[in-house]
Amino acid sequence: MATVKSLLKGKMNFINKLEDQVRRANSLLCVGLDSDIEKLSGEKDQFVFNKKIIEATHDLVCSYKLNTAFYESTGHLGIIALKKTCDYLREKYPEIPIIIDGKRGDIGNTNREYVQFVFSYLGGDAVTVNPYLGEEAIGPFLDEKDSGIIILCKTSNPGSGEFQNLEIDGEPLYKSVARNVSRKWNKNNNCLLVVGATYPQELKEIRQIVGEDMWFLVPGVGSQGGDLKATLNAGLNKKRKGLIINFSRSIIFAGNPREEAIKLRDEINKHRNMTVG
């Protein structure tokens, strides 16, 4: 368990921090603060909106995820709201991991700048990155050994197969990504994968490739239509963990976000507690 001292002393290893919070909250639920300014009924400030969601859900989650797109769309004011949200979380709930969902990826020299943005300016604990440029380019992210580096593998969107499913020596590209990340990129034990809940069969195959220890960030259950039970059966490891199940719109824009989060956390736990079917 993380002590306050260890939390204050500096950054804790992401995977440890995540596993501590999973135990503490007994939850694999991640709330995605995709606080689209056009959908914030009555509220004009993304930070104020986020604070309400955080106060309503902080004891129910294993992590929060902030997708940069929903803040960049409102320019520098959105970036300020994003930073204020991260600052608030770090001060009030330093035990809860913050995932910055930016899907960044550039050449090495340039990725160092994104590292600054995500880990110094925002103070995030983890970031999503795109694998297309390869390990050598992603190096500045991977070198952040106490941060979580979450690599896109099989994404949740309907058209993700266009390149991700192309066959290389009889195997789809996403399996090459999973294998390379697991065998080569993960020298600091800080890699995770993004696998969409809309593809449970692929999730199962990826779990077989990377083994028991790697965590996956799994979007696509709520508004995108992925099946929760199938997702959990396919991706949970033997400890009935290993999946960060993200819900964004379906929680934050619900009539009662807390009730929705409790319902989803409990539904996830119900399946975790079942014998594997």
Query: Catalytic residues, which ones?
Result: 103
75 binds its own copies, rule: CB under 8 A: yes
44 binds its own copies, rule: CB under 8 A: no
As measured in angstroms, the least distance from the Cβ of 144 to its own copies is 14
Does residue 182 contact residue 192 with C-beta atoms inside 8 Å? no
Whichever of 128 and 190 has its CB closer to its own copies, that residue is: 128
Name the packing angle between helices 135-142 and 108-115 (round to 10°). Answer: 30
Q: What 3-state DSSP class applies to 113?
A: helix
269 binds its own copies, rule: CB under 8 A: no
Whichever of 56 and 122 has its CB closer to its own copies, that residue is: 122
Distance CA 118, CA 266 (A): 31
Which helix (H) or strand (E) covers residue 18, if one does? helix 14-25
Looking at the chain, which runs of residues are DSSP E strands? 29-32, 63-67, 98-104, 126-129, 148-154, 167-168, 171-172, 191-195, 216-218, 243-247
As measured in angstroms, the least distance from the Cβ of 170 to its own copies is 11
Residues 149-208 that bind its own copies (CB under 8 A): 152, 155-164, 166-169, 173, 176-177, 180
Kindly state the tokens that stand for 29.
Answer: 């639920």
As measured in angstroms, the least distance from the Cβ of 176 to its own copies is 6
Whichever of 127 and 243 has its CB closer to its own copies, that residue is: 127
Does residue 115 contact residue 138 with C-beta atoms inside 8 Å? no
As measured in angstroms, the least distance from the Cβ of 53 to its own copies is 18
Residues that bind its own copies (CB under 8 A): 34, 36, 67, 69-70, 72-77, 79-80, 83, 103-108, 110-111, 113-114, 116-117, 121-122, 130-137, 152, 155-164, 166-169, 173, 176-177, 180, 224
